[in-house]
Structure 1
């Protein structure tokens, strides 16, 4: 019996000690909460914890939670805006004393110039198809025996590049009787010949050659008079090029031209005024933009551009499939040029398929982060005029007025003003801006908290506190209620505090104006 009671007594003592430990832990936790609430600089939490009036406590709870909600909403909004990866574009115009002149590539609509017999024209038409990949691919797909036989008759050693340099478009003194850059005379030696889909073309100011223009307007850039020699045209009426005149492309010196795609046509009997405006672009990298600096490295070109990247992609596709390169892909010096039969049976058809089915992303090509573009404004006038026509008849060579009207072309390429535009993208919200916005809203809440403490809101709240204190006073003991001195000193203290707060509010209001 005694042992049972002893066991029960021990169990009761153990439970009591456990309960005391729990109460001690709760007391410690309450002490920590009270210390934080009474020592924090957030006055709303102080009032929330220390207010004895229930309505005042509820008001401060809603006020503190409201400010925390506003702060959380604004911070969340700024973070969401940052992860939208939006950009801002700054557009400016820079005025300078001179501008680097762009490269100008000139092509004739006719690719080979010679007086040919009917039998020779058949071979020339087939050669022309070698330069027009779409026409050659069509012939290959449809087993065009006539084209195949014509190419076979050219022989295995026939080279399109050599033939183009021999019979292609030249810029000798007969074809280009007049050429000037600013006030200096220029000739064929100032142009670099290249082989394109339009045959042999010529580029002025190519590569490392640097020329500048320091006076804007017509007469201060490149000026050329060209004889297109229509009487030597050998283009096939149906499968060849049916225009007469020249085609001009203005492009950066470090970029390979694509005159067939981007060139400006100048017809015979016309003068073209090509006004150039330089535009420098600076784009953002991913995820804010489309460019990728890590991909801007090419094997065949020293400078990365989207067009250069696509040319390298098309070259690799033809080389991988056919084991040779097209004659228009002269930048690849590691592989041999395709023979005529290789062009007919493989290269041209595959190149057309790649261009039709491959996009820039398939070639792993992105727009460069920084590049220069040239905007063109083209105006035309009749050339030559009546008096100029007579002068050209007498001074150029023994030709008549009709020949000049049907064959002469003049063009001018120049900067219209000594300035260039810049388009530069930047992050709409960057990392420092995000941190600044978060800090600004946090500081605003802190300032509002301090202002609220000393403003009229607190004055009203203290007035409510007086009512609460009056209610608490009525509930005190009868001895305190019967003591008029105690009540009078209590009310006087509250009124003095209220007056001090109102005066402080007025002072702060005047300072904030």
Structure 2
């Protein structure tokens, strides 16, 4: 019994001894549970931090490189991942270049409204200067201080051969001799580059802008009948501006005196109807060989240039002008280089404050400023500032050279298309007018504004006189639906993000969450490096911890040796 008890006691320690096997450096597996011996040392290691995160990252390929069981598998996964990254870089470069190309798509919609804004309608007589106003121009030169430059073109005395409105049109030769006497220029001896009209333009353009209207046709003497949507209108419904080519021009529904008019019904009865007396007996044939009116349809905020756009209206006919509105909206920068407003100092904007940007006004301002810069004078076509010295015949060659450069596009004006633009497409048709029954009504209308009508009627006859002197025009919308053409970005930021995510996810399996993993890793690396560089106490702490671990291991080794020796003795 005693022997059995002794053996039982001797065998009993065999189980507890196993608790010390991990302390036996020869038999224990090295660091199978690293949390005890490695947590502080290796968590402060950059390689440990990177390796630990790469093994658990959500990006495809990287964990396989970390977990590969041999060098060949690791190399294959490394090559696959490198290839994926290469393709991703190529695809991302293409996608980003497409985004920064800022291409646009053009879209077309048709919008119908219950009411649509009626455009501004500008009319000008084709004849810029009536014969009866020649002496008025001389009076301007005599009375206005800023008309001194006219003395380069006018004689020192009042002309004697000016024809007035009561003279017979058949005496055209005498009238022209009087007009030539007035300007003191023999048109037949002019240089071929200078027309009769240009001479008259230079003379009139040298005067103050507010006085130029006195040299042209008056609307009060021209307007016989005016109706808008069957409601009567009058000269007070028109605004005036002076054009160097056509003289006095008048705009209906300019928007400067109130809100622009609207129409809610289509057709000729619901537009603008005008009857105008063109005063052909006042025409100077060497200035304007044609007879009629110039008509321009434009937006209220657009500077009208009838010399560039518009249609001619012939007397003795009823001209119908059907309108269709096209509203064009271009994408702003950086997608296009369209412009929203004039640059500071634009001559048209300074004179007419209500104007919005147009390419024509920008280009003509560019030409005007170039003449001012190169020639030292203001071109009379667009001279609104009375303090600017007007160009005269001595500046002709310089101005022509600048105009040639402007025509060739050498001025580098930088004028782009407007970002928003109203375009009025017109359909023109004509009919013989007036009929026999309505001719008497037209005659009565002319009698109310012309004192010398009876003399003219007796010379030409009523029918011929009306056919030669009266214009009828009707402007109306053909439909209330307008065409809306607008640009949109062909490649938006949302498309960019979608394509970037698709390519990165396809080739290397990176998602937005994976990106945040890398951001976290970078943050931890920076934090770790900064702590190592800036806190010297960490080095002492790590050295102390290392010495403590070494002492603990040595103590455990000594304890294990004593335990083994005790068991061996027993």
The TM-score normalised by the length of structure 2 is: 0.60
Does the aligned pair in 2 maintain the 1:269–1:409 contact within 8 Å?
yes
User: In structure 1, what is the Cα distance between the partners aligned to 2:400 and 2:236?
Assistant: 34
Among candidates 461, 473, 478, match of residue 411 of structure 1? 473
Aligned-pair CA distance for 1:86: 1.6
Does the aligned pair in 2 maintain the 1:281–1:423 contact within 8 Å?
yes
Q: Residue 260 of structure 1: SS of its match in structure 2?
A: coil
Among candidates 326, 331, 335, match of residue 387 of structure 2? 335
Distance 1:232 1:211, change over 3 A: same
CA deviation map 1:422-444 (0-9, x unaligned): 33333323445423421333344
User: In structure 2, what is the Cα distance between the partners aligned to 1:410 and 1:73?
Assistant: 68
Is 1:307 aligned to 2:360, yes or no? Answer: yes
Deviates more, 1:425-434 or 1:161-170: 161-170
Match of 1:316 in 2: 369
Distance 1:110 1:186, change over 3 A: same
Distance 1:218 1:126, change over 3 A: farther
CA deviation map 1:217-246 (0-9, x unaligned): 32212111122233332121xxx3322221
Match of 2:120 in 1: 103
Does the aligned pair in 1 maintain the 2:363–2:415 contact within 8 Å?
no
Does the aligned pair in 2 maintain the 1:278–1:421 contact within 8 Å?
yes
Q: Residue 318 of structure 2: SS of its match in structure 1?
A: strand
Write the mapping of 1:103-252 to structure 2, written as runs, cut at 5 A.
103-114=120-131, 116=163, 118=173, 120-122=175-177, 124=179, 139=190, 159=207, 165-172=213-220, 175-196=222-243, 197-209=245-257, 210-236=260-286, 240-252=287-299
Match of 2:491 in 1: 429
Aligned-pair CA distance for 1:413: 1.8
User: In structure 1, what is the Cα distance between the partners aligned to 2:254 and 2:54?
Assistant: 76
Q: Residue 358 of structure 1: SS of its match in structure 2?
A: helix
Distance 1:99 1:127, change over 3 A: farther
Write the mapping of 1:383-462 to structure 2, written as runs, cut at 5 A.
383-384=432-433, 386-392=435-441, 395-397=444-446, 400-445=462-507
Does the aligned pair in 2 maintain the 1:230–1:407 contact within 8 Å?
yes
Aligned-pair CA distance for 1:262: 0.7
User: In structure 2, what is the Cα distance between the partners aligned to 1:123 and 1:320?
Assistant: 37
Match of 1:366 in 2: 415
Does the aligned pair in 1 maintain the 2:129–2:284 contact within 8 Å?
yes
Distance 1:44 1:366, change over 3 A: same
Does the aligned pair in 1 maintain the 2:367–2:402 contact within 8 Å?
yes
Does the aligned pair in 2 maintain the 1:225–1:411 contact within 8 Å?
yes
Distance 1:37 1:224, change over 3 A: same
Distance 1:186 1:110, change over 3 A: same
CA deviation map 1:97-140 (0-9, x unaligned): 3223222111122222237364552464698999xxxx99x946
Aligned-pair CA distance for 1:96: 2.4
Q: Which 5+ residue runs of structure 1 have no aligned equivalent?
A: 1-24, 450-513
The alignment covers a number of residue pairs equal to: 406
Match of 2:521 in 1: none
User: In structure 2, what is the Cα distance between the partners aligned to 1:52 and 1:183?
Assistant: 95
The TM-score normalised by the length of structure 1 is: 0.65
User: In structure 2, what is the Cα distance between the partners aligned to 1:299 and 1:321?
Assistant: 18
User: In structure 2, what is the Cα distance between the partners aligned to 1:33 and 1:394?
Assistant: 101
Q: Over aligned residue pairs, what C-alpha RMSD do you find?
A: 4.3
Q: Residue 417 of structure 1: SS of its match in structure 2?
A: coil
Among candidates 52, 67, 75, match of residue 92 of structure 2? 75
Aligned-pair CA distance for 1:351: 4.2
CA deviation map 1:328-381 (0-9, x unaligned): 435x3352574xxx53332x5544433321267836442254332222222222
User: In structure 1, what is the Cα distance between the partners aligned to 2:99 and 2:205?
Assistant: 63
Q: Residue 269 of structure 2: SS of its match in structure 1?
A: coil
